[in-house]
């Protein structure tokens, strides 16, 4: 799927979360790296929307889930809902099937 954040970027950000680095240590580097990360996330989100609109089967990955687990688990949809919940804690994302 889409790799929004490189492992190196994640490691760099983790140092801020752990308190090993701060923006004050090197404001220029912080600004440059954060800009790159923002640009990459925006680009990858655009790619994800394109993929969902043009090749939804690839995004759902149901064929692999059936082969691997014997049923559809909606792994990727659940990860997207976890992302939404992390970004907007007041939301209640829910996976529901509508019967027609």
Q: What is the structure's pLDDT at 35?
A: 95
Distance CA 55, CA 33 (A): 32
Distance CA 57, CA 3 (A): 18
> What are the tens digits of pLDDT across the range 42-88?
999 999 999 999 998 888 888 888 888 888 788 788 888 888 889 99
From residue 4, alpha-carbon distances to 26, 45, 91 in Å are 24, 8, 23
Identify the band that residue 2 occupies on the pLDDT scale cut at 50, 70 and 90: low
């Amino acid at each position: 799927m889409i790799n929004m954040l490189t492992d190196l970027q994640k490691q760099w950000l983790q140092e801020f979360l752990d308190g090993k680095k701060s923006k004050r240590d090197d404001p220029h580097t912080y600004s440059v790296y954060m800009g790159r990360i923002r640009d990459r996330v925006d680009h990858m989100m655009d790619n994800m929307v394109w993929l969902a609109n043009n090749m939804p089967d690839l995004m759902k990955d149901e064929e692999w889930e059936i082969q691997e687990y014997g049923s559809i688990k909606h792994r990727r949809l659940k990860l997207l809902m976890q992302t939404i919940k992390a970004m907007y804690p007041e939301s209640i994302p829910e996976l529901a099937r509508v019967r027609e």
